[in-house]
Structure 1
């Protein structure tokens, strides 16, 4: 069976774990209709528009 040849230091272990649990930044786009930030390729939750068409009815 394969075994590690050398001990892995605490520093290397912690650096690896820090990379796993790092928060992921979410890309944001600007809605061309209302100017609010929104997720790309999704309906704007503020105005309900996507690709120039109203998809959702938003209560004002």
Structure 2
């Protein structure tokens, strides 16, 4: 027979042991162009800018010339 615990451990003890295993929030910043919240080191999903340059053309911001 293998090793068995002598007594049942409380759920509080288990929770205290796992208290440091929580997920961390991702680093969020404000976009300097449109001032919406975005992930650090990522292109802004709202305006498509990165490092104060327009990198991605967003469909909503296209101007119609007809």
**Shorter-chain TM-score: what band?**
0.5 to 0.7
Unaligned runs of 5+ in 1: none
Q: 1:23, CA displacement in angstroms?
A: 3.8
TM-score, length basis structure 2: 0.63
Paired residues in the alignment total 55
Unaligned runs of 5+ in 2: 61-66
Correspondence for 1:9? 9
| Regions of 4+ moved over 4 Å | none
Q: Does 1:59 align with 2:59?
A: yes
